[in-house]
Structure 1
Amino acid sequence: MQINATLPFDRSDAAEEFFHMDAVREVGRTLEESGFAGGNVTDHPCPTARWLDAGGHDAQDPFVMLSLVAAVTTTLRLQTGILVLPYRNPFVVARAAATLDVFSGGRLTLGIGAGYMKGEYKALGIDFERRNELMDESLRAMKAAWTGENFSFEGEGFNARENRLRPMPVQRPHPPILAGGNSRRAIRRAVELADGWYPFFTPAALSSTARTASISDEQELAEAISYMRDYSAKVGREQAPEIFVASVTRPGQPWEPQAIVDKLGRLKELGATGAATHIDGRDRAEWCDNARRMGTDVIAKLD
């Protein structure tokens, strides 16, 4: 099991602790030394004040933030978790991803999703109701651009005719793509267009807010995995997508090391190859102490 940590650089409530390069260096090196496989960043370029005031969070630009982390680490994977793909022109994303992959030595993983915030879509001028179609189109366009050869691709609002994007990503044919979301459509997207599936535990009470299907426990996750494998066989994909679970801990949730080890073991039995964790900390010292504790008490005990 590969374990990532959600990076703490969205902490506007503790900007003096996390909003500078000393923090990036300390956090990045702590994660590497503690055995974490990667660091995750999320994506909210223009969230609504209502969402923020109801418990949402700020978010730094994902490619900028991961580039800073890349500069102070050597082995840590750099993962968007998630990048809301319809927010951006796909060729701008392809360029940013290729640049980061090249200069990090091939450490980028692209977790992508359709998002759920209507107000943010409206602020960015993107049609929320067409987010799934835009997602699929963008993935196909990015793959065409990553070949490094002349390509043509016409989509909604863009039209590439004999364009070329170089350098190509170090990872071939492109950085690993994890398609996020719990819905059957999201699962089919992972099978058809991605390398992996990126589910997240969502209680039924919150699924309508997040605008995705509920996966509240491991039994429901197992049912979704069964659907993914059946669909893979149906469309002729020989090996089903890998499974990377978005988070096994939540902000403010007390955690007991053995309980997390046991949960990760059950997820591995279901077929998961990785998972992300949230780490709490009122300041940088506490955050790093908790990351080290996760490393010794959880990661070191995994098979």
Structure 2
Amino acid sequence: AVVVPHRNPFALAKSVATTDALSDGRLDLGVAVGYLRSEFLALGADFDERNELFDEALAVLRGAWTASSVSARGRHFDGLDQVLAPAPVQLPHPPLWIAGNSARARRRAAAWGQGWAPLSIDDLGARTIRSVSIPTVDDLRRAARTLRADTVVAGRDPAEVGLWATTSDSAAAGRDELDPGAHLDHLVELAELGASHFTATFHLDDTDGAERAVDTYAERVLAAAGLPR
């Protein structure tokens, strides 16, 4: 996911549109507010303004991607009649997945995102990223129900807002101890609670190990599901 408050929104709009064009419209864009104060300090961005910076930037992004030109003034930028070229391949713009476990992130996704991407984390992890814990599938199921309710309140069809799941079950992805059948059952459970996407996480320290893990996952899980590698 892109930490939106780290960047000027016009520069971000340009880079995203170019990536979408180069990938022939295969980009899904995760966007997040950010949580590491040290990163903001290193980049000269204001950590305490991050929510306000995020909201104003997303308005600029959508305008830059969909209008012939856009003018916008923010806390730290002033753009007049800015023209974006090339435009994104996907219309009206690449899918925006709002990352984050907070109610504010979920409501943003419900109001104008194409999906919500929470993390499966316990209380310790939640304190680390200054957010809300969603440690179990049951917790994710409750969160998914709340997302659908928020979407209705926002005047949108819940079918328009996807759920991208990342759960603790994926921590063993690519390892020999992963049970392919049990993992596929887990993915079915996620789909039944409303998840449309899933991230398999590989906790490794080197590129070679990561490549082996991806190959192992493909051989064991995708093969068990009857899917091509």
Both structures adopt the same fold (TM-score exceeding 0.5): yes
Aligned to 1:104: 23
Paired AA for residue 126 in structure 1: A
Q: CA deviation at 1:282?
A: 6.5
Paired AA for residue 50 in structure 2: R
Aligned to 2:82: 163
Change (3 A) 1:206 1:298: same
Q: CA deviation at 1:250?
A: 2.7
C-alpha separation between the residues in 1 aligned to 2:40 and 2:205?
Answer: 32
Structure 2, unmatched stretches of 5+, are none
Contact kept? 2:180, 2:224, Cα under 8 Å: no
Aligned to 1:79: none
Q: CA deviation at 1:293?
A: 2.4
Change (3 A) 1:258 1:128: same
Aligned to 2:134: 215
Contact kept? 1:110, 1:178, Cα under 8 Å: yes
Change (3 A) 1:271 1:141: same
- Deviation readout 1:165-215 (Å, 9 max, x if unpaired): 111100111111100011100100111221100011011122111111000
C-alpha separation between the residues in 2 aligned to 1:177 and 1:133?
Answer: 18
1:260 aligns with 2:180: no
- Deviation readout 1:204-246 (Å, 9 max, x if unpaired): 1221111110000011111111111111111211235101113
Q: CA deviation at 1:299?
A: 2.5
Aligned to 1:58: none
C-alpha separation between the residues in 2 aligned to 1:243 and 1:174?
Answer: 18
1:294 aligns with 2:214: no
Aligned to 1:88: 7
Contact kept? 1:139, 1:193, Cα under 8 Å: no
Change (3 A) 1:291 1:301: same
Contact kept? 2:171, 2:201, Cα under 8 Å: yes
- More strand per residue: 1
1:270 aligns with 2:193: yes
Aligned to 1:174: 93
Paired AA for residue 179 in structure 1: I
Contact kept? 1:148, 1:167, Cα under 8 Å: no
Specify the SS of the correspondent of 1:111.
strand
Following superposition of structure 1 onto structure 2, how do residues 1-303 of structure 1 map, counting pairs within 5 Å? 82-240=1-159, 241-247=161-167, 248-250=169-171, 254-279=177-202, 284-302=207-225
Equivalences, count: 222
Paired AA for residue 178 in structure 2: W
C-alpha separation between the residues in 2 aligned to 1:181 and 1:272?
Answer: 15
Q: CA deviation at 1:127?
A: 1.6
Q: Percent identity?
A: 36
C-alpha separation between the residues in 1 aligned to 2:73 and 2:122?
Answer: 39
TM-score by length of 1: 0.68
Paired AA for residue 181 in structure 2: Q
Contact kept? 1:207, 1:214, Cα under 8 Å: yes
Change (3 A) 1:88 1:282: closer
Specify the SS of the correspondent of 1:224.
helix
C-alpha separation between the residues in 1 aligned to 2:72 and 2:35?
Answer: 27
Structure 1, unmatched stretches of 5+, are 1-81
Paired AA for residue 102 in structure 1: A
C-alpha separation between the residues in 2 aligned to 1:283 and 1:151?
Answer: 43
Paired AA for residue 128 in structure 2: T
Paired AA for residue 192 in structure 2: E
Change (3 A) 1:251 1:130: farther
Specify the SS of the correspondent of 2:66.
coil
Q: CA deviation at 1:296?
A: 3.0
Q: CA deviation at 1:251?
A: 7.3
